[in-house]
Amino acid sequence: MRTLDTQTSSMRYRVFDTALGPVGLVWSEHGILRLQLPERDRTATERRLRAQTVDLVEAEPQEETAVAVALLQGYMAGERTDFSDTRLDMTGIGDFHRAVYASARAIGWGETTTYGALAREAGSPEAARAIGQAMGRNPVPIIIPCHRVLASGNKVGGFSAFGGTVAKERLLAMEGVHLGDGTPMLPGLLPANRRGF
């Protein structure tokens, strides 16, 4: 994950409540820069957000950022949500990652693809491993839906957020995606020995 660094205090952030726990958002005048998925609690979420980003000023989201917050709260409550109009600030992200993220953003609610298929879509058919690395560095999960990108054979693959693959499976279950034996993993009903948000 990149560390954001600017010479101005134009980056704002807010940690807000959702049905799955506290989510952190960082934005600039150019769009959303970073999204922090829920950690153990609000303090851990904010600590992770601030450790990855410098020169932040806490602020109340306004206008399009407030719309993004409302969309994220709806998504985390299990509502079918479309983030295609959410403006992102891709400052400091190279061309390859931009192409990968643009392709990933086209994967709709309840749909999945594989790292290999996304590599072909992004114009780099031999780069499945690099696609996995790009997904692991995704600065705005959910808005760029890296949880919808699976390993070959529709296996869950990796997920770098708190809770790891359990969190990924839970997000997919909210969207009606069934992995493994075809039995849906319902939100809130994960086995007790598995941890996720």
Residues 85 and 108: their CA atoms lie apart, in Å, by 13
Q: Is 146 designated active site?
A: yes
Residues 148 and 113: their CA atoms lie apart, in Å, by 6
Q: How many CB atoms lie within 10 A of CB 128?
A: 17
Catalytic position from the list 146, 149, 166, 172: 146
Q: How many CB atoms lie within 10 A of CB 40?
A: 14
**In sequence order, which ranges of 58-121 are alpha helices (DSSP H)?**
63-76, 95-105, 115-121
Give residue for tokens 């692991």.
136
Report the DSSP pairing between strands 23-28 and 56-58: unpaired
Inter-CA distances, 179 with 60, 87, 94, 126, 141, Å: 38, 31, 32, 25, 20
- Residue 176 structure tokens: 């009606």
Residues 55 and 10: their CA atoms lie apart, in Å, by 8
Measured in degrees and rounded to the nearest 5, phi and psi for residue 58 equal -70, 135
What residues are labeled active site? 146
